[in-house]
Chain A
Amino acid sequence: MSSSLSETGHGAASREGSGPPARVVPRWRRSLRPYLLIVPALLLTGGILYPFGLGLYYTLFDFAASKPQPDMVGLENYRRIFSESSFWDSARVTVLYAVGAAAVETVLGVGVALLLHRSTLVGRVLEKILILPLMIAPVIAAIMWKLMLQPSVGVVNHLLKPFGMGGVQWTDTPAGALLSSIAVDVWVYTPFVAILALAGLRSLPTSPFEAAAVDGAGWWFTFRKLTLPMLWPYVLVAVIFRFMDSLKVFDIIYALTEGGPGDSTVVLQIRAYLEAIRFQRYSFGISYMIVLWAVVYLVTMVLVRYLGKIQNRAAEVPK
Chain B
Amino acid sequence: MDMRVHDRRRFLALTAAASATPLLSACGAGFGGGESKKGGGSAADDVTGSFDWKKAKGKTVKALLNKHPYTDALIADLKSFTEKTGIKVEYDVFPEDNYFDKLTVDLSSGRASYDIFMLGAYMVWQYGPPGWLEDLGPWMSNSSATGSEWDQGDFFPNLLQADQWSLEAGAPLGQGGQYALPWGWETNVVAYNTEVFKKLGLKPAETFDELREISGVIKRKAPGAGFDGMYGVAVRGSRSWATIHPGFMTMYSRFGLKDFTVEGGKVKPAMNTPEAVAFTQDWAEMVKKGGPPSWTSYTWYQCSSDLGAKKAGMLFDADTAAYFQAVKGASPAAGKIAFHPGPKGPGGSLATNMWIWSLGMNAKSKNKHAAWLFLQWATGKEHLRKAAIEGNHIDPVRKSISQDAAYKDKMKGLEGFIETFETVVDQTKIQFTPQEQFFDATTSWAASLQEIYGGKNAKSVLNGLAGDLASKVG
Contact = CB atoms under 8 A, between A and B. Distances in A.
Interface of A: 31, 34-35, 42, 46, 49-50, 53-54, 57-58, 61, 63, 65-66, 68-70, 146, 149-153, 167, 169-174, 177, 257-263, 274, 277-280, 282
Contact of A49 (B19, B35, B126, B229): B19
B443 A274 contact: yes
Contact of B293 (A151, A274, A279): A151
A261 B129 contact: no
A143 to B, nearest CB: 10
A288 to B, nearest CB: 14
B293 A169 contact: yes
Given A66-B436, A152-B229, A261-B453, A171 B30 contact: no
A42 B15 contact: yes
- Scoring B7, B443, B450, B454 by chain A CB atoms within 10 A of each residue's CB, the highest score goes to B450
Interface residues of B, number: 50
Given A50-B22, A169-B294, A260 B239 contact: yes
Interface of A, secondary structure class, is loop
A261 B454 contact: yes
16 contacts: A49-B19, A54-B27, A65-B34, A66-B130, A68-B34, A68-B130, A69-B31, A149-B294, A153-B311, A172-B293, A261-B447, A261-B451, A262-B447, A262-B451, A262-B456, A280-B126
B295 interface: yes
Given A31-B4, A66-B130, A169-B293, 17 more contacts: A50-B23, A65-B436, A150-B294, A152-B292, A153-B311, A172-B454, A257-B297, A258-B238, A260-B297, A260-B446, A261-B239, A261-B447, A274-B440, A277-B104, A278-B439, A278-B443, A282-B108
B85 interface: no
Given A50-B19, A261-B239, A152 B454 contact: no
Contacts of A54: 23, 26-27
A279 B440 contact: yes
B247 interface: no
Given A66-B130, A279-B437, A280-B126, A53 B23 contact: yes
A191 B35 CA distance: 50
B11 A260 contact: no
Nearest to A283: B31
A263 B30 CA distance: 34
B353 interface: no
B27 A171 contact: no
Contact of B450 (A149, A170, A262, A282): A262
Nearest 9 Cβ contacts at the A-B interface? A260-B239, A151-B293, A262-B451, A261-B450, A261-B296, A68-B33, A279-B440, A258-B239, A46-B19
Contacts of A42: 15, 19
Given A261-B451, A279-B440, A151 B31 contact: no
A166 B60 CA distance: 56
A49 B240 CA distance: 34
Between A70, A149, A259, the greatest number of chain B beta carbons within 10 A of the residue's beta carbon is seen for: A259
B294 A170 contact: yes
B434 interface: no
A259 B447 CA distance: 9
A74 to B, nearest CB: 15
A165 B411 CA distance: 44
B131 interface: yes
Nearest to A278: B439
A68 B31 contact: yes
Nearest to B101: A277
Contacts of A58: 31
